[in-house]
Amino acid sequence: MTGAPQARNESSSGKSGSLALNGVTRRFGDFTAVDNISIEVGRGELLALVGASGSGKTTTLRIAAGYEAPDTGTVTLGGEDITRVPPERRGFGMVFQHYALFPHMPVEQNVAFGLEARGVGKTERLEKARAALASVGLEGAGGRPIQSLSGGEQQRVALARALVIEPRALLLDEPLSNLDPTLRQAMRDDLRAMLRRVGVPALFVTHDQEDAFAIADRIALLKNGKLLQSGTPEDLYHAPASREVAAFIGRGSIVPAVDKGNIATVTIGGVARDLGVTRPSGATSPVANAFVVLRPDALEMARGASVLAWKGKITNRRFAGGLVVYRIQLADGITVDVESPSSAAHEDDNVSVSPLKGPFPLVPG
């Protein structure tokens, strides 16, 4: 037989093996949007694709979904090559940034739409739609018009529509970006719990690292179409592979250091401090051009002078609930942020800054 290969049917649970992109590259003329990226999402795992605009996140997701064909590389699900299987035959659930709900249909018909396209009878598909709505906390809302729903409720409808088809994988494109901050935090928890219940590979695109850290099991950080690093949120935060990763993940000041193995010496304004360090995975040897990441929660500010502290001046302060974040200008053109429980210091105050706790991430220049 000729034509695109058919995706293998899975059990009625909708569960399947891992989803993998293997050395995929996608070019648009002279522009390379995705450059030899390899990632794998295990069954029941959520991988977040993170990066700034233009990093290649959405194109990578579209390749996984089948809406873009890679120029090179393959897409596999459970070891089966699905690179040329069209999107409608992959059995994937999709949740888009703008939800793509039909305003002329009530809620339950929106959810049941994918089942109708698959030839499921009306009675069965409406029963499944109501069950899916109940699973996302919208039991009894099936008859409501889409326009009557809040942003958070619409997000739940979009997720129910993706889940009702018992997908082999879930793909989510910035699904939280349209929510206000309070609802966004609540939906992070709900989304993570729902994805764990489904137990299929889930690929989540976001430019917001807080969303990624709150939801994902692992993170893949992209820049200019290239994969900079993948690993757990803890891996990327505590052991970034490069200055680029350290600059993107978390907040922190990246300062020159002398790498001495288990420690690195940071000298600011003539005051040298030896700091315990962590290294990128697999890196063991000292590097000649090293930098240390000084994060706000790893520094301590004091009002008085200290011989062993770095001296500076507060240039900005920001109230952050139980903490105040102070921006402090140190010597040698270095600026750091420091979290402090004290709100007594003010802009233009002279203060001193000391390393509070480690180890500190060390990255090569």
| Mean of pLDDT values over 66-82 | 96
Number of residues written out for the chain:
365
Which band of pLDDT confidence, cut at 50, 70 and 90, is reported for residue 128?
A: very high
Q: Any idea what DSSP says for residue 226?
A: E
Q: What are the pLDDT digits (tens) for 332-364?
A: 999 999 999 988 899 999 999 999 878 999 999
Confidence (pLDDT) at 16: 63
In order of start, what are the domains of the chain with their CATH numbers? Answer: 19-236 (3.40.50.300), 251-364 (2.40.50.140)
> What is the DSSP annotation of 295-348?
-GGGEEEESS--TTSEEEEEEEEEEETTEEEEEEEEGGG-EEEEEES-----TT
Among the residue ranges 36-45, 94-103, 118-127, 252-261, the one predicted with the least confidence is 94-103
| Mean of pLDDT values over 225-245 | 94
| Mean of pLDDT values over 182-192 | 76
Instruction: Give the relative orientation of helices 122-135 and 107-117 as an angle to the nearest 10 degrees.
Output: 120
Among the residue ranges 27-36, 195-204, 291-300, the one predicted with the least confidence is 195-204
CA 333 to chain CA mean position, Å: 32
Which band of pLDDT confidence, cut at 50, 70 and 90, is reported for residue 1?
A: very low
**Residues with Cβ < 8 Å from 288, sequence gap 6 or more?**
259
Confidence (pLDDT) at 13: 38
